[in-house]
Every structure is written in C-alpha cells, then in structure tokens.
A and B are shown apart, each in its own frame.
Chain A
C-alpha cells in the first residue's frame, strides 16, 4: 500500500458525459501527478501540481482539467468523454516539488470505461 488513495476504483459512463476522479496523496506529500494508461499502453503523463499550483503539463487534452485543493487532494475532471478516453488513470504523489531525486508513489488507479 503506497499511501495514495484514489476514488472511485471503477467508473462506467457514456460518451459525452463528464466525470471527476479524486486522489489523496500520501501524508506529507505536496506534489500530485496524473497519468493515463490505455490498454497495453505505457503511462502517459498528464499534469503535475505542487502545493496547489500547476507545475508541468503533458499531453493533456483540453477536455481534461485538474486542480489541487488546499488540503492537497487533487481532482481530475474529464468532460465530453469519448470512447478513446477509456483507460486506467493513476495518481501519484511525491514529497517535494518534483526535483530529480523525488520518488513518485502511485495510487491503485481508477478504471474508466466509456460506453
């Protein structure tokens, strides 16, 4: 158990809908990262927040947005969902602001299925 929690574990929805995925980092960690992993694909970095501020953006679609709240939990919002958005979404956290020595600890993921 990494100490990172994600809810919900599974999510099934329809095309065009909007969903929110939630992540609570490990106690004391200030950074939160979001990743997408499609079937048999690698991990695609989406976005990184540190202490409430966006630090880095990957190939995150405009239909997706995220934020990190004062209590350091984070939410990833996915809207106008398409079939291709079906994937595992992982959240990770690290202690610092993403320095090169930072280790990311991953949550169990949310499996999103868009029908």
Chain B
C-alpha cells in the first residue's frame, strides 16, 4: 500500500494561493490520488481526485507529474474558512484505505 508524506502544517494569509505537496513514492500503476478536507469534528470532505497531469474543479487544482511520485493540491485565493486539515490519499482500490497524518493549514487574516 502506497504511503503518503505531507507537511505537518502550513500557514498562509487570506487571498494567497496555497500549494500542499504530497509524496507517494511507491504509488502503483492503477492507483488514483484523492484529496480530502476535514474541519474539526466533521467528516472529511472530498476535494479533488486525479490520476495524472492536471485536474481542476471549482475549488482546487491537482498537479501530478509524469512519474506520479508526488502530487500538489493548489487552493487559489484561500480564505479564513479554508483553515482545516488536508489529507492526501492514494487509492489502492479494494483494500484498506490508509489516511496519513494530513496537513494542518492555518489561514490568517
């Protein structure tokens, strides 16, 4: 099962773009990369998922280089309400789902 490594915490200011990088060196050929956001005492919320290159939706972009050993979640123009824990997850498919420790993002005014 692919293990993920993310920074433990990050600080930013409102209006800035935030990039959170996750490394997953032993990602397998069929694995997808998924990012979740979690607020205290709430269930994780799906943000974005990708397999390769770039994926963009209304809230974020996900950049995955050709070797797929890492991925970067990009949050444009963050606000105070983006303060949360962000989890990078490698979907191995059909097996245990292993969440890492996540990245605590703190957005300051």
The residues of A with any CB-CB pair to B shorter than 8 Å are 2, 4, 33, 35, 42-45, 48, 55-58, 88, 90, 92, 97-109, 111
Contact = CB atoms under 8 A, between A and B. Distances in A.
Interface stretch (B12-20, B60-68, B75-83, B97-105): B97-105
Contacts, number: 69
Interface string B39-54: 0011111100101000
Contact of B93 (A2, A4, A99, A105): A99
Contacts of A88: 41
Q: How large is the interface on B (under 10, 10 to 19, 20 to 34, 35 or more residues)?
A: 20 to 34
A42 B43 contact: no
Interface string B20-54: 00000000001110101000011111100101000
Contacts of A35: 99
B96 A100 contact: no
A59 to B, nearest CB: 9
Given A100-B31, A100-B91, A103-B34, A90 B43 contact: yes
Given A42-B100, A43-B99, A45-B98, A103 B46 contact: yes
B94 A99 contact: yes
Among A33, A97, A102, A111, find the residue whose CB has the most chain B CB atoms closer than 10 A: A102
6 contacts: A42-B100, A45-B97, A56-B94, A56-B96, A101-B93, A103-B49
Contacts of A48: 96-97
Contacts of B32: 100-101
Nearest to A101: B32
Given A42-B100, A56-B95, A100-B31, A106 B43 contact: yes
A102 B41 contact: no
B49 A101 contact: yes
Given A45-B99, A104-B97, 6 more contacts: A42-B102, A90-B44, A99-B91, A100-B32, A100-B93, A111-B41
Contacts of B93: 98-102
